[in-house]
C-alpha cells in the first residue's frame, strides 16, 4: 500500500470511495478540515457463521481508511453474536471471535494492508462494564420495542417468536460508537437502520452524533439476496478449496447478457477490482479469462465497464465469465488457506468455533421378552410337545370325570 494521504479533500474522497451511502459527511469533513486530526473509525463484525468472500469488501475499505490516515478499530462483537437468536453458546462464540480475528488479519495481509496500524477489540472486554450496562438501561428507557425491532430487522435473525436479546442487539451497536470513542462507524448498507437508531437516540444520553459509512452488499451466487454466512449455497468460504470454488461458481446464476442480476459481475466490481487497485495502483484493472484457441483463445479486459459491456452484448459468455471469476477467487484465497494450513492455532480456533455436528446413533431395537411360554421363544417347548401335553391333560380330565 502506498504512502498515507494528507490532503483533507483527498482523504475525504478516499474514505468515501466505493461506498453506497454516507450519513453525516459533514462530521468527517469537520474532523479533517477544522480539527485537523485523524478520523477515528470503527468496523464491527459479529462472529456467527464462517466468514465468506463478501468480507473482502470491508477489508478493502479498511485499507482505504488506513491510507487516509484514519485510526481504525476492528470490533470482534462476541456478545452480539451470542445475542443473535442464540446462534452459538458463549464458550463457542469465544473461539469464533478468535477465528474471525485471524481471518481478518489473514485477508488484510493477503491484499497488502499493514495490520500493525489496526486496533482489535473484543466486545466483552468493555461491554460488561457498569458504565456500559447502565447506558443500556438508559437507552432501553428511550427506545420503543417497535423501534428496536425495526432497527435490527436486516441484521438480527428474524423468527416467529423473537427473543428479547434481538432487541438489545441494536442498542448495544449504537452504544459501541460512544464507548469506542469513534467519529464514524463503518458497515454494510444492511446496518442502516441501526445507524439511524444511533443518530436519533445517542444525543438523548448526552452523546454526540457520528457519521456512518456504508458499503454495498455483495450479491450471493444464487438469484437474489446477499452473500450470507447462513446460506452455504450463496457464499464462498474464505478457506474454500479450489475444486469447491469451481463447483459453486459453475452452479451460480448467470444468465447470458443479464448484467442486472449477476452476482459474479458484482463480485468482480466490488471485490476483485478494488483489490487489484490496492495492489497495482489507482485505476488499474485487469480481468483475464483462459480458454482454448478453438473458443477464441485467452482474453483480458482493462476496465470493468468493458467487461460488463462484453457480457451484456454476449461477446463473453457465462462459461467464460465463470472461469475467470473462479481463477480470480482461487488466487485471492490461496495465501489465506496457506496461512491456515501452517498455523495450529488458526486450525484450533476453527475446529472449536465450528465443531462438526455429532451424528445421533440410532438406538438398537430392543427385542421384547415375551416369556418362555411364548411359541418359538428360547426355553419354550416345541409345538408338537405342546400339543402332546394338551392331549395328555385332556385325557387326565376325562378320567377324573
Distance in angstroms (rounded) separating the CA atoms of residues 225 and 232: 13
Distance in angstroms (rounded) separating the CA atoms of residues 100 and 333: 15
Q: Last residue of some domain: 163, 198, 215?
A: 215
Q: Are residues 201 and 248 in the same domain?
A: no
Q: Are residues 173 and 281 in the same domain?
A: no
Domain count, the chain: 2
342-369 residue pLDDT tens: 999 999 999 999 998 766 666 666 666 5
Cα atoms in the Cβ-side hemisphere of radius 13 Å centred on 245: 23
- Domain annotation covers residue 345: yes
| CATH code, 344 | 1.10.240.10
Q: For residue 282, what are the domain limits?
A: 242-353
- Domain annotation covers residue 362: no
Q: Are residues 186 and 263 in the same domain?
A: no
Q: Are residues 16 and 104 in the same domain?
A: yes
* Counts of helices then strands in the chain (DSSP H, E): 16, 8
Q: Which of 230, 200, 160 is nearest to 23 (CA)?
A: 200
Confidence of residue 89 (pLDDT cuts 50, 70, 90): confident
- Domain annotation covers residue 305: yes
154-183 residue pLDDT tens: 888 777 777 888 899 999 999 999 999 999
Judge contact between 246 and 237, C-beta under 8 A.
no
Cα atoms in the Cβ-side hemisphere of radius 13 Å centred on 342: 7
For residue 5, what is its C-alpha cell? 494521504
- Domain annotation covers residue 392: no
Q: Are residues 50 and 178 in the same domain?
A: yes
Q: How many CB atoms lie within 10 A of CB 103?
A: 26
List the alpha helices (DSSP H) in 1-159: 8-15, 25-29, 56-67, 78-83, 90-110, 130-140, 145-151
Q: Which of 99, 47, 104 is nearest to 74 (CA)?
A: 104
Strands 211-215 and 21-23: antiparallel
96-141 residue pLDDT tens: 999 999 999 999 999 888 888 899 999 999 999 999 999 999 999 9
Q: Are residues 209 and 247 in the same domain?
A: no
Q: Are residues 197 and 258 in the same domain?
A: no
Q: Are residues 288 and 162 in the same domain?
A: no
Q: Are residues 249 and 317 in the same domain?
A: yes
Is pLDDT of 401 > 50?
A: no
- Domain annotation covers residue 399: no
Q: Which of 191, 167, 163 is nearest to 86 (CA)?
A: 163
- Domain annotation covers residue 377: no
Distance in angstroms (rounded) separating the CA atoms of residues 388 and 382: 10
| CATH code, 199 | 3.40.50.620
Distance in angstroms (rounded) separating the CA atoms of residues 220 and 236: 9
Q: Are residues 84 and 123 in the same domain?
A: yes
Distance in angstroms (rounded) separating the CA atoms of residues 28 and 210: 9
Q: How many residues does the chain have?
A: 401
- Domain annotation covers residue 234: no
Q: What is the pLDDT of residue 399?
A: 47
Q: Are residues 16 and 80 in the same domain?
A: yes
Is pLDDT of 45 > 90?
A: yes
Helices 318-341 and 242-250 pack at an angle, to 10 degrees, of 150
218-268 residue pLDDT tens: 877 766 566 655 566 678 999 999 999 999 999 988 999 999 889 899 999
- Domain annotation covers residue 129: yes
Residue with cell 469506542: 180
Amino acid at each position: 500500500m502506498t504512502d498515507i494521504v494528507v490532503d483533507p479533500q483527498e482523504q475525504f474522497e478516499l474514505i468515501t470511495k466505493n461506498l453506497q451511502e454516507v450519513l453525516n459527511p459533514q462530521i468527517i469533513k469537520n474532523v479533517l478540515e477544522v480539527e485537523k486530526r485523524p478520523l477515528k473509525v470503527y468496523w464491527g463484525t459479529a462472529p456467527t457463521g464462517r466468514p465468506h468472500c463478501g468480507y473482502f469488501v470491508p477489508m478493502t475499505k479498511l485499507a482505504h481508511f488506513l491510507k487516509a490516515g484514519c485510526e481504525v478499530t476492528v470490533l470482534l462483537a462476541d456478545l452480539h453474536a451470542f445475542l443473535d437468536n442464540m446462534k452459538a453458546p458463549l464458550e463457542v462464540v469465544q473461539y469464533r471471535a478468535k477465528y474471525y480475528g485471524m481471518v481478518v488479519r489473514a485477508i488484510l495481509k493477503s491484499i497488502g494492508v499493514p495490520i500493525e496500524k489496526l486496533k482489535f477489540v473484543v466486545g466483552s472486554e468493555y461491554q460488561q462494564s457498569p458504565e456500559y450496562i447502565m447506558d443500556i438501561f438508559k437507552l432501553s428507557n428511550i427506545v420503543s420495542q417497535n423501534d428496536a425491532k425495526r432497527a435490527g430487522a436486516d441484521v438480527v435473525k428474524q423468527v416467529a417468536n423473537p427473543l428479547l436479546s434481538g432487541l438489545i442487539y441494536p442498542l448495544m451497536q449504537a452504544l459501541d460508537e460512544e464507548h469506542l470513542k469513534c467519529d464514524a462507524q463503518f458497515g454494510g448498507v444492511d446496518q442502516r437502520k441501526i445507524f439511524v437508531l444511533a443518530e436519533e437516540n445517542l444525543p438523548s444520553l448526552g452523546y454526540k452524533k457520528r457519521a456512518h459509512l456504508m458499503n454495498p452488499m455483495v450479491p450471493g451466487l444464487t438469484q437474489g439476496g446477499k452473500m450470507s454466512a447462513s446460506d452455504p449455497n450463496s457464499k464462498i468460504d474464505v478457506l474454500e478449496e479450489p475444486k469447491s470454488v469451481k463447483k459453486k461458481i459453475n452452479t451460480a446464476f448467470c444468465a447470458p447478457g443479464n448484467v442486472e442480476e449477476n452476482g459474479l459481475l458484482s463480485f468482480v466490481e466490488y471485490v476483485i477490482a478494488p483489490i487489484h487497485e490496492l495492489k497495482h495502483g489507482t485505476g488499474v484493472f485487469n480481468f483475464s479469462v483462459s480458454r482454448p484457441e478453438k473458443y477464441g483463445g485467452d482474453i483480458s479486459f482493462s476496465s470493468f465497464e468493458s467487461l460488463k459491456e462484453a457480457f451484456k452484448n454476449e461477446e463473453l459468455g457465462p462459461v467464460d465469465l465463470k472461469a475467470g471469476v473462479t481463477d480470480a477467487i482461487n488466487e485471492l484465497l490461496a495465501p489465506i488457506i496457506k496461512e491456515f494450513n501452517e498455523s495450529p492455532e488458526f486450525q484450533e480456533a476453527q475446529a472449536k468455533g465450528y465443531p462438526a455436528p455429532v451424528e445421533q446413533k440410532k438406538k438398537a431395537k430392543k427385542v421384547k421378552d415375551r416369556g418362555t411360554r411364548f411359541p418359538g421363544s428360547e426355553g419354550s417347548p416345541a409345538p408338537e410337545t405342546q400339543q402332546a401335553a394338551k392331549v395328555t391333560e385332556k385325557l387326565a380330565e376325562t378320567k377324573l370325570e
